[in-house]
Amino acid sequence: MSFMQVSPQEGQGLKGSMARTLKPHIGSLEGQRIRQDWMLLAPQLILFIGLTLVPFIVAFPVLFTDRLSFQDTGVDYIGSANFFRLFNDPNVQAEYFPALWRTIRFVALNYVMVFVFGLTLALLIYEVGFTGWFFTIVYLPMMLSGLATGYIAEMLFSRSTGTVNLMLREWFGIASPIDIKLPEGTTVLLPILIGWRYAGFNVAIFLAGLLAIPTDTIEAARVDGASYWQRLWKVYFPQMIPSFIIATIFCLIGSFGVFDELIALNALSSNTEAKLLSVMFFTYAFQSQRLALGLVLTLQTFLPLVMIALLLQRLQRRLQY
Amino acid sequence: MSKNASQQISRRKILKLMGLGTLGVGLAACAAPATQQPVAPTAPQAPQEEIKPTEAPAAPGQVTLDVVMDTPEYQNQHRQIFDIFEQENPGVKINFTTHSEDGQPAYVAKVAGGYIPAMESVWASGNSFKLNKDTFKNAIDLSTIDYPYYDLFTYPLKTAWVDIYSESGPRCIDPFNGPVMTWMFHEDLLDKAGLNPIGKVKTWDDLKMWLDEGSKWAKTPDSGVQFFWDQAWLNPWFGWHLHYDTIPLAFPDGQRENQIACWKGEKPFNAEDSPYRHTIMFYKEAYDKGWLPENFWTRGWENDMEASFAAKKSAVMLHGPWPWDKTLAIDPNAKQAGMPATPPAAGQTQWMQLQPDPGVDGSSMATMIRTGNETKPEYDMIKKLFIWWNSPDIVRLRAEAIGFVPAMKLDPPAELTGPQLVNTVLEIEKPGGKWENVKWERSISGELQMGAKRKGGSPGVFDVESGNIAKIWADVMTGKMTIQEYLDILQKNYEASYT
């Protein structure tokens, strides 16, 4: 169906409203709908324009300067020089590429956690029908701040005072504890921590996907004698591809944006493994006096991400049942 | 939840929910804080104690001056001093706020958005923030405000900025000496263990023997401590001049003139006789011999190290004045004592103690008037506040309130009661004092002297602002990098950072 051919059903939604003629009859029911749609969208649009778009436009000229910090008073225009620093400045490369590699590794592990936590719990809720208290437990970490979850992890896995380490030492005689502030500890525990925190968010995505599956397809598979695993692989998952892709997009962008938890894990000082790109950008802007360069690197990092997200969206439309 | 649930929410409903939700959040954010608008009770209630708002709104005609500082630990003391200014100047209200390191980036962003407080500490913008050649225009040139007390300073405040940065100034005033790093310990613990160093530790070798014996004692079951000497990591405190410039003073070739020679490019940082080699060597030896906690660079400064010391889970720290107070706040009966940092090594005859630089270009106690204030109608009152805040009587009050040594000649002198000051710092060079034979090293550091030469955005010699230094230290301590390789990095950083 092309964008301008709108079904009556679609005409009830915003896309339908916007897809219809842009000159609705004033006072017509359709015109009222469009006005109402824009009114409902207005608060979010205002916030988005005010808090995202305008700051970006204001900050844009900074990309072409040598601005060191917000406090820098001797700012000069340097053209596109900042955009080439990633390719011709060994000092920037020495910081950026290790941070990029750490981030990609974290994204991969975090993506696994999306399914370990999100999909598993969603299936549990869908199949077993857990409600109420279980939902509360799953969603509770989402209500905590990132810093809080980071500090909770530290309280559990701190080298000398972590609860888990004390239990390992006292009950199992394991002398070498799990130190979350060491690179090895962070590599393993950080994705688990983030996966646990965003479990509720991912459960919602996967549960929506599960509930959208027509029940007759599931019943038909049952009648044909398909085992649970067969139903999972042949019936559920193929019809959940949109959910998978949405979860992938959120995981990808969210992983690059993880910050608070990293701060709690000493990312700004000694914990190298926690120095992901988000920390590097923060350091450039607020600590190392390389604000303009930091902004450019941020842009150079996130533009490909946006492209990937758009490609995934297109893929989602193609693969949709 | 039923798996057969077929009730679907329409896009339109979602849109409505989102729209109304966002509107609600927006309205909630715009709402005035409850403390400013106490809600009248809707029904008669029993008399209650009046709840005072934390920030009373200014009365009509009243001038409100915002003051921002970065030391929340001194919020109450400073607030009481500002109350005096309010009493002396009816019609003036001081809106005083503080924030910790976590709040510094947010404050910088707020300032970038146009916020201009009347007065602020330089480090309100960040612990390593300096009023240097790139940033000095943020602060008003104090030579324009007729500050009358320059002659009372123990360092050349009036000319130091001009001498170092070749720009008119000063741009900020720090009326205190920098915080001093000394050994500190639980005296009762060490007395019990027979490890009290006073009178026993007289040389660098004695110090190392003390650390070695202490570490062995800490491992015994009845010691009650986890570590003898505890060390943690915090940027930019660790690996800054507090450690780098202090330790070399124990050695003949580590003295100030040799340190300064490195900074001025007269001697490479990676030279065989580099004064900074001593710092790394000392810590490497301490780590290899188990005097320091394993992976100490992963230990939290406050949560692990200072908290452990206050709880007597460690016996010794090399630290400034703050943990003395923190320990007393937790345990008023704590018996703390101290010892100057660097007893002499072989060939060095004089026991030295570093006195860090005054805040010529910034510190947590240095205050400035931000540019932009000069156009405010209340600028005269702002100048009056700034001069008053840095006047002898008020500096005395500040010194007594927070336990910092004034860098001003005060008459009468401040009655300093800070535990580190009374026990150790004020005893140095004091005739008849506990440490009368220890000598202060008060000359200006090479880093400060070269302040104007540092390139903006460069790593600096120790790369402390970025935190990259921590990994290097970890590599050196664990043997992945040699001391020489580390010194080579310092030299490379120097060449990249200074013109």
pLDDT tens-digit map of B128-147 = 788 988 899 999 999 999 99
pLDDT at B242: 66
Q: Does B449 touch chain A (CB under 8 A)?
A: no
Q: With an 8 Å Cβ cutoff, are B474 and A287 in contact?
A: no
- Tens digit of pLDDT for each residue in B77-106? 999 999 999 999 999 999 999 998 878 888
Residue B392 confidence (pLDDT) above 60: yes
Hey, is A43 helix, strand or coil? Answer: helix
Question: End-to-end alpha-carbon separation of chain B, Å?
Answer: 69
Alpha-carbon distance values, B213 to B207, B291, B335, B346 (Å): 10, 9, 21, 20
Q: With an 8 Å Cβ cutoff, are A215 and B6 in contact?
A: yes
Looking at chain B, which residue has its C-alpha nearest residue A291?
B457
Rounded to 5 degrees, what are φ and ψ at A77? -75, 130
What distance in Å separates the CA atoms of residue B208 and residue B291, rounded to the nearest whole number? 9
Task: Report which of residues B410 and A44 the model is more confident about.
Answer: B410
pLDDT at B487: 97
What is the pLDDT confidence band of residue A22, given thresholds at 50, 70 and 90? low
Instruction: Look over chain B and give the mean of its residue pLDDT values, rounded to a whole number.
Output: 88
Q: Does A79 touch chain B (CB under 8 A)?
A: no
pLDDT at A157: 87
pLDDT at A15: 47
Q: With an 8 Å Cβ cutoff, are A71 and B136 in contact?
A: no
What is the pLDDT confidence band of residue B6, given thresholds at 50, 70 and 90? very low
Q: Does A69 touch chain B (CB under 8 A)?
A: yes
What is the pLDDT confidence band of residue B45, given thresholds at 50, 70 and 90? very low
> In chain A, what residues touch B314 (CB-CB under 8 Å)?
none
The DSSP code sequence of B424-463 is: TGGGBT-TTSTBTT-EEE-SPPHHHHTGGGBPTT---SS-
pLDDT at A2: 40
Residue B228 confidence (pLDDT) above 50: yes
Q: Is the peptide bond before B236 cis (omega within 30 degrees of 0)?
A: yes
Q: Does A133 touch chain B (CB under 8 A)?
A: no
Going across the sheet that includes B227-229, the strands are B227-229, B314-319, B182-186, B336-340
Residue A24 confidence (pLDDT) above 70: no
Which tokens sit at A161? 């005072």
Residue A140 confidence (pLDDT) above 80: yes
Q: With an 8 Å Cβ cutoff, are B467 and A270 in contact?
A: yes
- Tens digit of pLDDT for each residue in A190-244? 999 999 999 999 999 999 999 999 999 999 999 999 999 999 999 999 999 989 9
Total number of residues shown for chain B: 499
Q: With an 8 Å Cβ cutoff, are B19 and A41 in contact?
A: yes
Residue B5 confidence (pLDDT) above 50: no
Task: Report which of residues A267 and A202 the model is more confident about.
Answer: A202
Q: Does B47 touch chain A (CB under 8 A)?
A: no
Task: Report which of residues B464 and B367 the model is more confident about.
Answer: B367
Q: Does A50 touch chain B (CB under 8 A)?
A: no
> In chain B, what residues touch A68 (CB-CB under 8 Å)?
134-135, 456-457
pTM comes to: 0.79
Residue B32 confidence (pLDDT) above 70: no
Q: Does B129 touch chain A (CB under 8 A)?
A: yes
Q: Does A275 touch chain B (CB under 8 A)?
A: yes
Q: Which of B499, B485, B393 is nearest to B455 (CA)?
A: B499
- Is residue B126 within 8 Å of B119, Cβ to Cβ? no
pLDDT at B60: 56
pLDDT at B202: 97
- Across the interface, of B22, B234, B468, the residue whose CB is closest to A47 is B22
Helix (H) or strand (E) holding B69: strand B63-69
- Those of residues 84-113 in A touching chain B at CB distance below 8 A are 91, 95
Which tokens sit at B399? 């010194």
Mean per-residue pLDDT, A245-270: 89
What distance in Å separates the CA atoms of residue B81 and residue B119, rounded to the nearest whole number? 14
- Across the interface, of A159, A210, A287, the residue whose CB is closest to B466 is A287
Q: Does A82 touch chain B (CB under 8 A)?
A: no
pLDDT at A3: 37
What distance in Å separates the CA atoms of residue A183 and residue A274, rounded to the nearest whole number? 7
pLDDT at B30: 60
What is the pLDDT confidence band of residue A155, given thresholds at 50, 70 and 90? confident
Q: Does A186 touch chain B (CB under 8 A)?
A: no
Residue B35 confidence (pLDDT) above 60: no
pLDDT at B101: 80
What is the pLDDT confidence band of residue B468, given thresholds at 50, 70 and 90? confident
- Is residue A91 within 8 Å of A297, Cβ to Cβ? no
- Tens digit of pLDDT for each residue in B283-330? 999 999 999 998 898 888 887 899 899 999 999 999 988 899 889 989
Which tokens sit at A266? 């000493």
Residue B53 confidence (pLDDT) above 70: no
Looking at chain B, which residue has its C-alpha nearest residue A75?
B134
pLDDT at A16: 47
Mark B457-484 as b/e (b = at least 16 C-beta within 10 Å).
Answer: bbbbbbbbbbbbbbbbbbebbeeebebe
- Tens digit of pLDDT for each residue in B168-223? 999 999 999 988 999 999 999 999 999 999 999 999 999 999 999 999 999 999 99
